[in-house]
Every structure is written in C-alpha cells, then in structure tokens.
Amino acid sequence: MIGVDRSTQVANSGPDALIFAIAGLGLKKGARVGVTSMTFIASASAIALNGFRPVFVDVDPETMLWRTDQVLELVRKGAVDALVAVHLYGQMLDLEEIAREAGERGIPIIEDAAQAIGSTRNGKSPGAHGAATCLSFDPTKVIGACGSGGALVTDRDDIARTARLLRHPCLVRIPGRAQVLEERDARRVP
C-alpha cells in the first residue's frame, strides 16, 4: 500500500507528519522547498514552520497536480533544496524522472500521500520515490479517524529519529522552527 519497508512514526495529524519529515531532512535555515500551489495549506505551512521557503509550482489544469516540467526546471537549475510531492484526489504524481534527476543532485523528496493511500502509478505505491511519505487520517481523507491522526513512513534513520524526538513536545523547542535536541540530550530518546 505504501512503497516503504521500514519505519512508521505516529503523529497527531498529517500536518505534524509533514513537519517532522521536513525537519528530518537536515536542511539549512532558509532552504527552498518546491511544493504545488494546489494543496491544503499544511503542505506549505510545514515548510515555513521549519524555517524554509516554499517555492510554489503551477498545476496542470487537467489533473490539478504539479507541472512536472516546472519541477524538473527547478531541480535542473538548482532552484530548490528539497521537494514536497503532493499526490491529490487519488492520483499519484509521475515522479520517475523527477526522482532520478533530484537524486543525482542530492535533492530529497517528501511524499504527501494523504489523499493517495492505496493508489499506484506504473506499479508503484506512494513512497517509492521519497525520503519519507506522510499520511493523514483526518475524517476527510481516504482512511479517516475519529478526530485526527497521521503517520510518517520512512527508510531513513535520520528522519525516523527526528520524528521520534519531535513527537515529544516536552523534549524539543519549536519556536517557529523545528529544533532537534543537542546530541547528549537526544541519547535518552529511542
């Protein structure tokens, strides 16, 4: 169902999962993160809450998904440091070429699959191309909860560890930007 084999971190919501995943990338303050202009505000606000700058990508009027040509141009020009790929309305983005080119340049991808659980494209599920995949269990999503819930699924230890740290708000300060504990203090967290 999700193209990741390893670690699942539970979050209070889909937006929290996005905040945790983006924080786990270890980007420098002010980093530029590409995201579609057609999405719930959480996709862009998770970028901003981490101290990064959203770089909005236009959408294809047929699918309402981001324009692959624009994303590839941003990647090739080095105009983004990371990407948040939002799968919408049960449709998955075509990430094959984007993931290949972004990977060659060290640009990580976070997949927002809140509206694509169970979807596939070219035989691949959400998460097949990203450093992490974020899910939402809001009552309006594919799998709803009574209230809200979310999950972050990743193969990367650094992202999983950051998520474990950030889901314990008494251990980490987030004054407008997610800040991971000093290593000596973080050793206490599994």
**Segments making up each domain of the chain, as ranges:** 7-186
Determine the Cα–Cα distance for residues 44 and 147; give it in Å rounded to an integer.
Answer: 22
pLDDT of residue 148: 76
pLDDT of residue 178: 44
Contact 4, 133 (CB under 8 A): yes
Distance of CA 27 to the CA centre of its chain: 13
Q: Look at the domain 7-186 and name its fold.
A: Aspartate Aminotransferase; domain 2 (3.40.640)
From 80, 89, 87, select the one nearest 111 (Cα to Cα). 87
Residue by residue, pLDDT tens for the chain (190 residues) are: 455 555 676 777 888 999 999 999 999 999 999 999 998 898 999 999 999 999 999 999 999 999 999 999 999 999 999 999 999 988 989 999 999 999 999 999 999 998 887 788 888 888 889 999 998 886 566 665 666 778 899 989 889 888 888 876 555 554 444 444 444 444 455 5
Give alpha helix (H) positions in the chain: 14-23, 41-49, 68-77, 96-104, 157-166, 183-186
pLDDT of residue 168: 66
Let me know how long the chain is: 190
pLDDT of residue 180: 46
